[in-house]
Homo-oligomer: A and B are copies of this chain.
Amino acid sequence: MKDMSHLPTFDDVIAAHDRIRPYIHRTPVLTSTYLNELTGAELFFKCENFQKAGAFKVRGASNAVFGLSDADAAKGVATHSSGNHALSLSYAAGRRGIPCHVVMPSTAPQAKKDAVKGYGGIITECEPSTTSREAVFAEVHAATGADFVHPYNDPRVIAGQATCSREFMEQVEGLDSVIAPIGGGGMISGCCLTLSNIAPDVDIFAAEPEQADDAYRSFKAGHIIADDAPVTIADGLKVPLKENTWHFVSNHVTDILTASEQEIIDAMKLTWARMKIVMEPSCAVPLATILKNPDVFKGRRVGVIITGGNVDLDKLPWMQ
């Protein structure tokens, strides 16, 4: 295991960006007149659903994989993930030509399992709880000696995710706020790292499902509160904060807002219908909270991070 207590700096973000640029897309920013009129805000959507491997997580995964020495890389990489980090690490490992071991909940969408295998990842299934996931992972990790790349607490991962908001600030001038979903806090920590360095006046909002509101409760309590197996359709947001992401969240986040399952589904369907993009339930949480808290965002220029597009098209939440 490597030292997780090292906090990444903005120099790490710049180095990460240079390292991963050949393997990622500079994703586009889309706008919607309709959604602007509906919310009274000026919304800019950073479309990481168009990212390589279908999600922002390829940024952090690529930074970890391509930062390894040849000797360490030869043993491969390993992780546990609710899906997109698994895809992304498999993609990055494939680009470097090294093995990638993935521990994944048996309940993860079939589309994500197939995609991991499609990128060459080797899956070991666990139960859909944090405790089971960590126990099974320990076995796999011991057996392979692969480099552990934590889905969000790894400093290399946080530095990689931070490249997203760096691009965003280059693409859109004068943002008042940035909002992104929060699960384990990797993307939000990346936003905190970048914005506290290059745009400290920009507010940072995190959006979370009411039914998996451990980050919200942690933020209000002042210490990490972790739930073992929350139930929400936003399946990327079930994991708890860890010490490194808690550092960034507790120091730099303006507020955490929550939305109900129905509000998330409605915002997801609305985005598909009006913006014509395929995105995951997790990505709809920010828009759901903007619609729920119009006074917070009205008249402001708001950057919304659409985190991924890996959806099981046979199981859309409004059809269940």
Contact = CB atoms under 8 A, between A and B. Distances in A.
Interface in A236-280: 269, 272-273, 275-279
What is the count of identical protomers in the complex? 2
Contact of A277 (B276, B313, B314, B316): B276
A50 interface: yes
Contacts of A313: 269, 272-273, 316, 318
Interface size of A as a range: 20 to 34
A276 B273 contact: no
A221 interface: no
Given A28-B28, A319-B319, A276 B309 contact: yes
Contacts of A309: 276
A54 interface: yes
Contacts of A318: 313-314
A272 B276 contact: no
A28 B309 CA distance: 18
Contacts of A199: none
A45 to B, nearest CB: 12
A276 B276 contact: no
A111 interface: yes
Given A54-B276, A313-B316, 8 more contacts: A28-B28, A272-B278, A276-B277, A276-B309, A277-B278, A278-B278, A314-B318, A314-B319
